[in-house]
Amino acid sequence: MNNDNRMRNNNNVKPKIIPRREHGISRKGIGGNALKVLYRLNRGGYEAYLVGGGVRDLLLETQPKDFDIATNATPEEVRRLFRNCRLVGRRFRLAHILYGRDVIEVATFRGHHASKKSDKYASQSNDGRLLRDNVYGTIDEDGERRDFTVNALYYNIDDFSVRDHAGGMEDLKNRVIRLIGDPETRYREDPVRMLRAVRFAAKLNMQINSSTAEPIPALAHLLCDIPSARLFEESIKLLQTGHGYPIYLMLRELKLFSPMFPILEGHFTEDSSSKAEQMLTLVLQSTDSRVNSDQRINPAFMYAAILWYPLERRAEELSFENDFTHYDTFMMAANEILDEQVKSLALPRRFTAMVRDIWQLQLRLNRRSGTRAYKLLEQPKFRAAFDFLEMRSRVEGGQLNELATWWDVFQKADREGRNNIIQFINKACPSKKTCDQPHKRLNKHKPQSNQE
């Protein structure tokens, strides 16, 4: 963390105007659809600015993922200008301009909650969290309302200048993530800002200013009040955009990981040596590698891996308490773990269904005699299940290593080779029960409490 303890007070500070000749932003770097929106707003008599991450990334000479626009036009006025516009959001009223799959987000300048008139359009909870915020204002007020200094940068389509409202240009140069205003107040307004600070720091290879970071551990519990659907979307941005492992380490350091994955709290150790922690390292590093190599990823695989060892422990607990088969106990535990997890992160059903498929196939991969191995190869989720088996083998070793190697060889063999491999299995295990061990009961021992 940065040791600079300065706190900027941005109220009543005039923005710095950087003319075109003094910054590196070119319209060639701005998406064509974003330019269309900027120009039409400008021709319609409204102020129009490219704002936030798009400006920040262009100044850092990286390609923005998307382009957001700020204007003094109200959402209804924006809709009158664009036939391809739809208004979204209750907490923050926004206009989305649709060009096929490309969505340009247009926000009206936000104002301060300074008068009773604003009560009709804004509300806060007792702990300071913003529940509704549709108070409109000027560009200067909007700049003060932004979260981080590096996001309070505006590119003016009218004269191609950049407006810096909070010293963001200096912080970009010094590679510092700094919150605008009093950190505790801003985090209470929207606790997700704590997650955004971590994400920006890891994504941009920057440091979080010490005053911005200091209150986070004590306020991490506020994430428990955030809707689980919103936290799920944030978890995707945090863990599946190519910087998941360093973000995970920073989340752990700032006590932000447990509010999203409370089930894992009992698996954390001082030296990060538990099986669950080893699995987190493997799956997040693997995901980062795939994202940065432009390979496809499926969020369900990551969640299946993250929750596997809590699932194993829960199955042991249920087996200790009941006299069920291994399969029945395992599926009961799977349902309980997922039911608990969706309370904090609302995983969509399509993901929880795939998580169950990957988990269930772990029970079947040991059953290779007869025609079972061929049937498993035909399962739609076999490849994901095999990849997870390999990952488990790297954590546990032993028989799992042998099993993963067997399946790797079997997949790559031709038909004759596969037949020979199966014949060897059948000869080595003349009894299917001996070889496959279906529906075995879990060992009747009291489950471990803190470490695997």
- Return the exposure string of 141-172: e unless at least 16 CB atoms fall within 10 Å of the residue's CB, then b: bbbbbbbbbbbbbbbbbeeebbbbbbbbbebb
Q: Which of 68, 133, 164, 436 is catalytic?
A: 68
- Single-letter amino acid, residue 377: L
Cβ neighbours of residue 277 closer than 8 Å, sequence gap 6 or more: 267, 268, 269
| Active-site residue, 102 included | no
Query: Which alpha helices (H) appear in 19-94, and where do they start and end?
Result: 32-43, 53-59, 75-81
Cβ neighbours of residue 109 closer than 8 Å, sequence gap 6 or more: 47, 70, 71, 72, 136, 137, 138, 139, 141, 142
| Active-site residue, 414 included | no
| Active-site residue, 66 included | yes
Please report how many Cα atoms fall inside a 13 Å half-sphere around the Cα of residue 268, on the Cβ side. Answer: 12
State both tokens at 73: 């036009």
Q: State how far the Cα of 201 lies from the Cα of 176, in Å rounded to an integer.
A: 8
Closest listed residue to residue 151, CA positions, set 293, 20, 52, 273? 52
Phi and psi at residue 449, to the nearest 5°: -95, -45
**Residues facing 130 on adjacent strands:** 124
Cβ neighbours of residue 409 closer than 8 Å, sequence gap 6 or more: 421
- Single-letter amino acid, residue 39: Y
Q: Are 4 and 176 in contact (CB under 8 A)?
A: yes
Q: Which of 147, 190, 288, 436 is catalytic?
A: 147
Q: Which of 4, 66, 357, 387 is catalytic?
A: 66
Active-site amino acid positions: 66, 68, 147
